[in-house]
Chain A
Amino acid sequence: MIAAQTALAVTGSTGRLGSRVARALSRLGVDQRLVVRDPSKAPALPGSHIVTADYSDGAGVRTALTGAHTVFMVSASETPDRVQQHITFIDAAVAAGVQRIVYVSFFGASPTAIFTLGRDHWATEEHLRSVGVAHTILRDNIYADFTPHFIGTDGSIRGPAGDGRVAVVAQADIAEVAVAVLTSDGAYDGRTLNLTGPEALTMNEIAAILSDHLGRTVSYIPETIDEAYASRASYGAPQWQVDGWVSTYTAIAAGELATVSEDIPEVTGHPAMTLTQVLEAG
């Protein structure tokens, strides 16, 4: 069976980043197995084969990854048991004989990261570092591509980001780095790459750039933390989810997403894309 011989396994190909990576690998003529939960949603790409597995199903993951050498691992859905799903996945990959895992983490991942999801990424990284498999960690900042989606239905950006800065990064750059790492035969083993844009912007600056691009005025209206929780209370969402929403901005306010890294230029050989370039590229 051809699928069992394909050395590179890619997760997340039904999502935005994973699909970019899978398409780029396909264009390069790299054979890959696409690990998905729902095969009906998987992209049909030349040189790819589909295997079905859920992160929380260790036996299923082990079967899906048997014979794979390198795995591109994007994180599971944001649920309270996400870290356990990641641990199950990593352990099953190692048991299946996988030699290298490239994990998509978040910028500044730490047990004390203000952005609450950064703590889950750190716990996953720690497990990855402990199991003895070669690995590369890609710590992505907030996607520049998503900044238009910070705008609410009232046309403004509202959150407790203060006058903090964020080095938003292009998904295209992240995908290019991922492809370079996955096809480098281990050149980045042991590295943690910080993937950021070329400049750190305040929310006011982001609002001004979005205003220029969209042809209408987008304003940034800072909230206090109490106001942020109050304005999100009507959703009736669980506390961990609301904490994730609010801490997106408080992490910016605290400066935790402001550092500009040179890792994208180092890996790709070109400067990281600016927010304006990302928006103009559509």
Chain B
Amino acid sequence: MKIRIGLPTAQSGPFAEGIRNAWSAAGRTGEPRLAALIYFSLGDDAEEASRRYLLDYYGFSGDVARRIADSAYRSVSQLRDVAKGFEDAGFTELYFDPTVARVDQVDRLADAVL
């Protein structure tokens, strides 16, 4: 399984295609699992805790931690766009890391993307 972390980009489609080509060239049957992971939080009351978590987890990396905390998806429209972006690029799975340990994030996510 290949996992990418971050944005769907212009390279995500060719990346997925390259994996599929290598898969069939190797004579394998079925489909490769192509997974991506993104960070999100939903709800104004969740953003501060989400940022705090990401700044702590990536704290060793200096300014990268700030950039990653900034890059989490925090709106319904962003989440819909990113899910479609990875789907269009040919990814088979997308993992949504809620960055805050609250059950309401699951319901909010389901409302956003299902």
- The answer to whether A and B assemble together is yes
Complex interface bits, A130-161 against B, C-beta within 8 A gives 1, otherwise 0: 00000000000011001011111100000100
Count residues on chain B whose CB falls below 8 Å from chain A CBs: 23
Q: Which residues in window 90-107 of B have CB below 8 A to A?
A: none
| Size category of the binding interface on chain A | 20 to 34
Bound together, the chains give a CA A279 to CA B111 distance in angstroms of: 34
**Which segment, of B9-17, B24-32, B80-88, faces chain A?**
B9-17
Complex interface bits, B1-45 against A, C-beta within 8 A gives 1, otherwise 0: 011101001110001000000000000000000000000000000
Flag whether A244 is at the interface (Cβ < 8 A).
Answer: yes
Flag whether A89 is at the interface (Cβ < 8 A).
Answer: no
Q: Which residues in window 56-105 of A have CB below 8 A to B?
A: 75, 77-78
Bound together, the chains give a CA A170 to CA B92 distance in angstroms of: 26
Flag whether A215 is at the interface (Cβ < 8 A).
Answer: yes
A77 touches B10 (CB 8 A): no
Complex interface bits, A192-227 against B, C-beta within 8 A gives 1, otherwise 0: 000000000000000000000111100000000000
Flag whether A271 is at the interface (Cβ < 8 A).
Answer: no
Which residues of chain A come closer than 8 Å to B56, judged between CB atoms?
77-78
A248 touches B11 (CB 8 A): no
CB distance from A17 to the nearest CB of B (A): 9
Bound together, the chains give a CA A254 to CA B62 distance in angstroms of: 16
Q: Which residues in window 231-269 of A have CB below 8 A to B?
A: 232, 235, 237, 241, 244-249
CB distance from A19 to the nearest CB of B (A): 12
B59 touches A149 (CB 8 A): no
Q: Closest 3 CB pairs between A and B?
A: A215-B10, A248-B62, A78-B59
Instruction: Point out residues on B near A: beta carbons under 8 Å.
Output: 2-4, 6, 9-11, 15, 55-57, 59-68, 70-71
9 cross-chain CB contacts under 8 A: A75-B60, A77-B59, A115-B62, A146-B64, A152-B67, A215-B9, A216-B9, A245-B62, A282-B15
13 additional A-B pairs beyond A143-B61, A216-B10, beta carbons within 8 Å, are: A77-B59, A78-B59, A117-B60, A149-B6, A152-B67, A152-B70, A153-B71, A214-B10, A232-B66, A244-B62, A245-B66, A248-B61, A282-B3
Instruction: Point out residues on A near B: beta carbons under 8 Å.
Output: 15, 75, 77-78, 115, 117, 142-143, 146, 148-153, 159, 213-216, 232, 235, 237, 241, 244-249, 282
